[in-house]
């Protein structure tokens, strides 16, 4: 059976990616990361999603971040959502570069054909490592920087959500039977989602535009 490594945070987007890979018949090898994020709750969601799909193995990697983000430095507050230009304080330096590097090494060991990552260039917070040009550049790294790539068997970086709005992502997840009730997206990491951070707001707007009700609990609704 063909194999795929899935970057699984436990959030809506990565879980939708998992559902796409599952629908396409891949044997699923999700990986998650404990990088000192304040929203540690997402790791429990990732475990629950992996269990739902009865995966053969779910690996959680430890990365010792030095801060530099509201998600990894407790002295930097997570702001409420606001429409503004520029890269927000919730950007984690080089996060997707690191995550994809781990995924790439693991995929090469497994002999996997694909790596799935839930980046979107439509409904996102302005992170530079969620753009098509970043994915294209990393695909070139796969081609020239791995044995598989040199041998003409480079793994494909799959981004099924990159041109989808959050509403379209949610509709895809529902069509695939993805367990969105097990996911979390909140940057605060509380028992209930805060409802006002960037991630919560984009998620709630997506459900509203899709004409659906978000199955997870919130402290408040900003949309």
Q: Which residues are annotated as a binding site?
A: 8-18, 186, 194, 197, 200
Concatenated DSSP letters of the chain: --EEEEE--SSHHHHHHHHHHHHTTPEEEEEEEESS-S-THHHHHHHHHHHHTT-S--EEEE------STTT-TTSPPPBP---SS--TTPPTTHHHHHHHHHHHHHHHHT-SEEE----SSSS---GGGSHHHHHHHHHHHHHHSHHHHTT-PPEEE-TTTT--HHHHHHHHHHTT--GGG----SS--SSB-S-BHHHHHHHHHHHHHT----S-BS----
Task: Cite the annotated binding site for ATP by residue number.
Answer: 8-18
Task: Cite the annotated binding site for Zn(2+) by residue number.
Answer: 186, 194, 197, 200
* Exposed e or buried b per residue across 24-63, where buried means at least 16 C-beta atoms within 10 angstroms of its C-beta: eebebbbbbbebbbbbebbbebbbbbbebbebeebeeeee
């Amino acid at each position: 059976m063909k194999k795929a490594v899935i970057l699984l945070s436990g959030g809506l987007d990565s879980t939708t990616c998992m559902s796409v890979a599952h629908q396409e018949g891949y044997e699923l090898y999700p990986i998650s990361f404990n990088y000192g994020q304040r929203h540690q709750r997402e790791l429990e969601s990732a475990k629950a999603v992996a269990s739902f799909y009865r995966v053969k193995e779910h690996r959680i990697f430890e990365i010792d971040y030095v801060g530099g983000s509201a998600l990894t430095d407790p002295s930097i507050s997570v702001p409420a959502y606001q429409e503004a230009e520029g890269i927000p304080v919730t950007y984690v330096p080089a996060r997707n570069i690191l995550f994809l590097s781990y995924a790439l090494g693991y995929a090469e060991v497994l002999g996997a054909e694909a790596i799935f990552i839930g980046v979107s260039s439509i409904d996102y917070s302005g992170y530079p490592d969620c753009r098509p040009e970043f994915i294209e550049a990393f695909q070139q790294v796969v081609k020239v920087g791995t044995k598989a790539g040199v041998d003409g068997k480079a793994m494909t970086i799959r981004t099924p959500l990159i041109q989808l709005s959050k509403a379209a992502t949610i509709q895809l997840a529902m069509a695939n039977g993805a367990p969105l009730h097990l996911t979390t997206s909140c940057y605060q990491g509380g028992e209930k989602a805060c409802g006002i951070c960037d991630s919560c707001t984009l998620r709630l707007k997506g459900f509203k535009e899709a004409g659906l009700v978000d199955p997870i609990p919130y402290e408040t609704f900003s949309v």
